[in-house]
Structure 1
Amino acid sequence: MTERIRNLRKFFIEEHQHRAHRKAPVDPFLLAAAFREQNLPDTERAVKRLVYMLDEETPLLFPEQTILFLRTNPTLQALFTEEEKEALAAEYRLHELGELSNICVDYTRFLKVGFPGMRSRLEAQKNKFVSCGQMEKAAYLEGQLAILKALESLILRYRDAASDAGNTLSADSLTRLLSDVPHTLQDALQMQRIIHFTMWCAGNYHNTLGRFDQYMMPYLRADLDAGRLTEESALELLEEFFLTFNLDSDLYPGMQQGDNGQSMVLGGMTPEGKDGFNLLSRLCLQASLELRLIDPKINLRVSKNTPLSIYELGTQLTKQGLGFPQYSNDDVVIPGLEELDYRTEDARNYAVAACWEFIIPGRGMEIPNIDALCFADVMRKAVTGHLADAPDYTSLFEAVTEKLQERVDEMCENTKNLYIFPAPFLSLMMDGCLENGRDISLGGIYNNYGFHGTGLATAADSLAAIKKYVFDTGEIDRKELLDAMEKDFDGYDRLLHLLRYEAPKMGNNEELPDSIAGDLLEAFARAVKGKKNVRGGCFRAGTGSAMYYLWYSKDMGATPDGRRAGEGFSCNYSPSLFIHSKGPVSIVKSFTRPCLKHTINGGPLTIELHDTLFRGEESITKVAALVKSFIDRGGHQMQINAVNRDTMLDAQKHPEKYHNLIVRVWGWSGYFVELDKEYQDHIIKRMELTV
């Protein structure tokens, strides 16, 4: 890390000095109230809000910066008043905040034509619509032109401010961007920063970065060939660019601080079927390693052909406690997407959404986190309703699949009548929107929905215990088990200990619970197969939990695996919190036994390793080999936490000492001391699985 980057990191990240220059917060419903009085339609509101947000920004730059744009207006204006939003929620299904989120745009649609080229395309297409009498479509593009005008005005103000400050490098870069496409990495990164900045100002969130190394590599190659950059100076530029993702992130919405969706994908197969890992991929890993920040969140696409050396590069980041990279297996993901009718070139070009879900840059108006199935819940309902009279395990499992199907049918029904706020700026970077004068919120090339799947290990372990102890050996009386569950195991200490600590557990390489988990996943995949949402897309089953591992477990009674009422499930696709683990190799073997190609919405195996394991280079190779074995055995996704229980317990007592302590939460990394205590406690509990 150069001295300049160290200075910028200290100024922005450690001391947050730039935040003192922000304006005071204002009423977030100021614009919405005016919109309501004028009875403005939603798209016009979205345009006027973004124009307002850009107009309200004051150029802010500091010494040693070369990549500009900082938020000075901390208040995102709402599109609707609270009363209007309540009325919308009563009439429609609103997903999360209602704003468009968690998709991946095609940044090259801007980068390849530049700001002037985009303006020309909009004007030409608008004129076509006018000549055809399609005035509504023409008006939509007119709104996008208004946004572009406001954005170019802000760029001009930044250009002038940079010039006045003597920052000729930035001033010249912005001057070029106002009149031409980017030709250098400096200009391309500055343009990317402007676009990403604007997406957040537009109210969109979980704004992912897609396959950054693929679309930025041409600029790096041109600079290296022309002698404008060396690898060292390119790394410095990348590190400054990476810093920008951490400057305004405290203003971004999320379930917890750090849950902002700024994910970056590196490596993987290209649309042409070639290996995409390149020099920029390597430099991005190095930049993240040196900066040690939670953003951007690195995702590494790998396959059986990926050499161990690349896994070792990723493991260096894990060693630093970043909680990433998250690994995604092309050998599983690409065929799985193809089975769901994704075009081969699109499947090969997949990116990762905010957490782990697989999406297609520039082509998908997909909602990969629209709801979640709780395996533990459908299992528990089947057990409490049918175990007493079930003649055998097969009939009990049939009851489980019936409950699972009922829940899936309910979730599918709940996705109808969906309303998403318009996103005219994002639509500029989505295929077909400009050409058809249509907002991406109304649909894209792919319109699929994804369901998470939480509590899998709890369900599999519970059914394994019932099969073994109730039906196979008769060691447990079914009435006794049901009574114990109803009483939360109070007075059933022997039974609780047997189920909790001695019964078969997924994660110990035991055939019984692992095969049951596979049966449950296949049942989930069958339950959604062939179903279509109202936009014509399919439903995708997944193994991720998001926050549901705590949400759904809070109010759930005791389960047959010895879990007591209210205790949490494991996070994502992982062993239960009560397993006496035989080690990570057994976990990998267990979690690669099920076929994962049909539950292709994503959801990683999450493993906690004690940070002392990473002493010495030999440990790097061993952990890298563990990840490689998971991929080679057919695992779909994996992420590793390098954590220390004592450190986290001390951080709860003395948070002021641990501002830089990073942990992997569910599909994102955050600062431990910024998490709510329930999430802190769960991560500490997961430490009991560490080796």
Structure 2
Amino acid sequence: MPLSTNEKQARPASPGLFLVKKKDRVTRLKEAVQAATPGICTERALLWTEYFKDKANQSKHVYVQMAEALAHSQKNRSIAVHPGELIVGNYTSRRVGGLLFPELHGLVVMQDLFKFPNRETNPLEVSRLDQARLLSIAPFWATRMLAVKTCDSWLDTFSLVLNQLMGNYYIINEAAGISHIAPDYETLCRLGTDGIAAKAAKLQKQSLMDADKWYFYESVRIAAEGLAAFGERYAQLAGEMAERELDEDLAAELKGIAEVCSRVPRKGAKTFREALQSCFFAQIAINNESLDNSVCPGRMDHYLYPYYEKDLKAGLLTREEAKELAGAFSVKMSEIVPVFSKYITRTHGGFFNGQIVNVGGTHKNGKDSTNELTMIFLEVMDELRMRQPNYTARVHKNSPKEYLDKVYGILSKGANSPSIYNDEVIVPVLKQNGVKIGDARNYTPVGCVEPVAQGVSFSSTDAALFNTAIILELALNQGRRLGRVAQIGAKTKPVSQMTCIEDVQEAFEIQMFHGINRLLKDLQAIEIANAEYHPTPLSSMLLDGCLENGACSTRGGARYNFSGIQCVGLVDAGDSLAAIKQAVFEDKKLSMEELVEHLKNNLSDDRWRHYLLNMPKFGNDDPFADVWTAYALDVFKAALDGKTSTRGGKYTVGVYSVTLHEYWGTVVSALPNGRRNGESLSNGMSPSNGQDRKGPTAVLNSMNRIDYSKTDNGINFNIKFDANTVGSPAGCTAMKSIFSTYFKRGGMQAQINVLDPKVLIEARDNPEAYPHLLVRVSGYSAYFNDLTPAMKEEMIRRTSMGL
């Protein structure tokens, strides 16, 4: 049954529970979170159902429905203040838990309902009672979930769902709701929800009654009030706990929590602690509003610094106390995990969430913005090394030496965070897409690697991922998979008639355009469904432009609107084209027909396989190979150029794969680069595993041959170093030197794993010995133990570089 609004809140009540030594507070909070067993929280799904089952709500405007449903959930869900906390708030009813969204992709996820507790990868606790409760709401949502509303018939719905489950050609993440945003938390801290609601009310008075604009403003007012009331619930709870607490010091701490939560997020934040708390309440609520994926606080060292500086000068805060608060905030962000089915885990493995906190960079005027809070966050990420937040760092030509030394020092010690982003490339890329220079300089990565102007962009940066490697397979078999008869792609020339590399290129280009058009047709139907049936008023009120335009972000209300399409298997396609060019048309060692026959046999002849593996490969400073990867990127971009989303923004090109490169490796047939079916594709922009044979400088030289003005949605470039070679001061200096050169020569991004190869093997074989070994996967961090067995092997197979 749905939860009653009168059900009791979960709240620790024993006096003395808050006995925490101050110097150990963050460590103890970390240990408590890491010791908690992840599970499924049913409350959001049940409360959402309770609201929509009420007939009084069913005739309301969809904007009002969404705002009221969220407010209803925030008002009636369980809350708790855990021992030792300074920043409070719970994503779910569990200490570490995940949410279900029955109106979006929840019913698809529920196919694993009875498997979650015992599955090998990412098990999640869920009680028999909760399983029964979730089953009871399934019939209600079966005819109301987003996929049903997207399609005209049950046959189309079945086709869409099946395509998403199989996901052989592309995955549309917007089918599960739109996320991947960096909200305007700076304005929330400055104005508070009352200030934002007042602005909405003023604009509402200028709108026609019962017009969409009027209802949008009404929904913003409801969402703002719901968020404010959510914070006040914690104020009441902490106050009640303080009254029961016998220890005076701990009672004072609880009273401090109550005081902070009584003011924020309703009123503008006055202190550093209030600003952090306000951000975290909003972070929880936005993750509950739509898909709980990659809601990013972004540039916290930048917009929170005035609060830190003011408190420091007033004697209200010390540096160590600020670090403790930042640490407590960071730990809280690890309390959410995604609820993914077996199929979705293939795409987003390792409890992916992608809540990015970014440090460094510049002010809007172009001057360096690093400050003491930047250094504090760097220390926190080094000392905590948790799966969340996804920490990133910006660098530019005027980044201070102290800052760069700290970033590379942390990485050389094996923190594997932060990933690094080059302002000298990214700011011009954003500007070329129409982003004003001040907004471009205020960018933050979102999700995995995607740069957006913070607080002003609704970029849906992970709208879809596209299997580029399979496009080459279709090009070599007239639009069919090798060994199959179904016509999936366009009808192109048979290989028997391909007499030059240009014939292969022509087929590749035709298949690419056909595949992209097919993807966009499905994606745009989902975009429309999200706008009509699942608007997001809370997110919209924290994205500049939506209030001014009187339009939800799902309808293009934000100042900037883009949608990111990810190119997966790019390097495999480029290396394969290079192999065809050399092996068939230059060396003439075999014909196109003979090559395709070997591919159909999965390169079972080792002699020919090794011959193809030894063809030139991207990542070895070989211009012949590198130009073909650049060409494959050009074709992908050309297929998207000129296409716009239903929100009016362009489709942008990303080159990252999350964990799809491993799954799609089991889908794509053998390729001319020597890769067999079943072997992983390349991860993001990185060279294929084991094919970068000439060391890190050669890899970086190849990377510098790519024109990153064409990857406006970002890249992930993974590179792994042997901890035995870079862990020393000399190794750190060498690493800093080669990456400084890489960025000066136009590199866009890098994420550096520093690992002992033996440790990865030991962690695979004895997982209990390394429960929280943090690794960079593909734009995000995860505990090695949380990866699928296949992804663990893929991490091990990545080339381990020395310096």
Aligned position for 2:355 = 262
3-state SS, counterpart of residue 798 of structure 2 = helix
Compared CA separation, residues 659 and 42, structure 1 to 2 (3 A): farther
Paired with 2:399 and 2:354, the residues of 1 have a C-alpha distance of 26
Answer yes or no: is the 8 Å Cα contact 1:266–1:299 preserved in 2. Answer: yes
Question: Distance between the aligned counterparts of 2:801 and 2:510, measured in 1?
Answer: 33
Name which of 173, 189, 209 aligns with 1:133.
209
TM-score by length of 2: 0.80
CA drift of 1:12 comes to 4.8
In structure 2, do the counterparts of structure 1 residues 17 and 309 end up closer, same or farther at CA, with 3 Å as the change threshold?
closer
Structure 1 residues 333 and 149, CA gap change in structure 2 (3 angstroms):
closer
The residue correspondences of 1:275-424 to structure 2 (distance < 5 A) are 275-307=368-400, 309-385=402-478, 386-417=494-525, 418=527, 419-420=529-530, 421-424=534-537
Which of 170, 178, 182 is the equivalent residue of 1:100?
178
For 1:52 and 1:336, locate their aligned partners in 2 and report how far apart those are by CA, in whole Å.
41
Structure 1 CA distance, aligned partners of 2:510 and 2:266?
Answer: 61
1:110 to 178, 181, 188: 188
Separation in 1 of the partners of 2:398 and 2:182?
26
The alignment partner of 2:392 has SS state of strand
Q: Give the number of aligned pairs.
A: 685
CA deviation after TM superposition for structure 1 residue 307, in Å? 4.9
- 1:340 CA displacement: 2.1
The 5-angstrom pairing of residues 468-617 of structure 1 reads 468-490=582-604, 492-500=605-613, 502-579=614-691, 581-617=693-729
The CA distance in 1 between the partners of 2:266 and 2:601, in whole Å, is: 72
Matched, 1:67 2:67: no
1:437, CA displacement in angstroms?
3.7
Alignment identity in percent? 25
Amino acid at match of 2:71: V
Aligned partners of 1:226, 1:298: CA distance in 2, in Å?
A: 30
SS in 1 for 2:74: helix
Is contact 2:457-2:561 (8 Å) kept?
yes
Deviates more, 1:442-451 or 1:181-190: 442-451
Residues 690, 553 of structure 1: CA spacing in aligned structure 2 closer, same or farther, 3 A cutoff? farther
Alpha-carbon displacement from aligned partner over 1:93-146 (angstroms, at most 9, x marks no partner) = 8744533311111112211112332333333333343xx435543343333333
- Gap change, CA 1:18 and 1:656, over 3 Å in 2: closer
Q: 1:520 & 1:16 partners in 2: Cα distance? A: 42
Matched, 1:87 2:148: yes
Q: Is 1:222 the equivalent of 2:222?
A: no
Residues 292/416 of structure 1: CA separation in 2 closer, same or farther (3 Å cut): closer
The alignment partner of 2:151 has SS state of helix
Which of 788, 796, 801 is the equivalent residue of 1:676? 788
State the secondary structure of the residue aligned to 2:593. helix
SS at structure 1 position matched to 2:287: helix
Q: Which amino acid aligns with 1:83?
A: T
Given the alignment of the two structures, is residue 122 of structure 1 paired with residue 231 of structure 2, yes or no? no
Instruction: In structure 2, give the amino acid aligned to 1:32.
Output: T
Cα RMSD over matched residues? 2.8
Tell me what 1:202 maps to: 289
1:19 is displaced (CA, Å) by: 7.3
Corresponding residue SS for 1:197: helix
Cα shift at 1:372: 3.0
- How far, CA to CA, are the matches of 2:782 and 2:329 in structure 1? 19
Question: Does residue 239 of structure 2 align to residue 163 of structure 1?
Answer: yes
Cross-structure match for 2:24: 6
d(CA) in 2 for partners of 1:570, 1:590: 15
Structure 2 vs 1, CA of residues 688 and 317 (structure 1 numbering), >3 Å: closer, same or farther?
Answer: closer
Alignment partners' CA distance in 1, 2:730 and 2:83 = 42
Aligned with 1:154 (options 230, 239, 242): 230
Q: CA 1:594 to 1:84, structure 2 compared with 1: closer, same or farther past 3 Å?
A: same
Deviation at 1:260, TM superposition (A): 0.8
Q: Shift of the alpha carbon at 1:78?
A: 3.6
Q: Please say if residues 448 and 537 of structure 1, whose CA atoms lie closer than 8 Å, have aligned partners that are also in contact.
A: yes
Structure 1: stretches of 5+ with no match in the other structure: none
The one-letter code of the counterpart of 2:185 is Y
Q: Report the Cα distance in structure 2 between the residues aligned to 1:230 and 1:28, rounded to whole angstroms.
A: 42
Counterpart of 2:148, as a letter, is A
Shift of 1:551: 3.4
Q: Flag the 1:15–1:596 CA change in 2: closer, same or farther, 3 A.
A: closer
In the alignment, residue 212 of structure 1 is paired with which amino acid? M
Letter in 2 for 1:409: N
Distance 1:191 1:107 in 2: 8
1:213 maps to which of 263, 276, 301: 301
Q: Which moved more, 1:166-175 or 1:615-624?
A: 166-175
**CA distance change for structure 1 residues 32 and 590 in 2, over 3 Å: closer, same or farther?**
same
Task: Give the deviation of 1:215 after TM superposition.
Answer: 0.9
Structure 1 residue 11 displacement after superposition: 4.2
- Report the Cα distance in structure 2 between the residues aligned to 1:627 and 1:355, rounded to whole angstroms: 20
For residues 380-411 of structure 1, the C-alpha deviation after alignment (integer angstroms, 9 at most, x for no partner) is 33344554333322333233233223323333
- Of stretches 575-584 and 168-177 in structure 1, the one that deviates more from structure 2 is 168-177
Contact 1:183 1:219 in 2 (8 A): yes
Q: CA deviation at 1:84?
A: 1.3
Say whether 1:636 aligns with 2:772.
no
Residue 246 of structure 1 corresponds to 334
> How far 1:71 moved relative to its partner?
4.2
CA contact (8 A) 1:5 1:240 kept: no
| Structure 2 alignment gaps of length 5 or more | 1-19, 105-140, 161-171, 243-250, 479-493
The one-letter amino acid of 2:770's match is Y
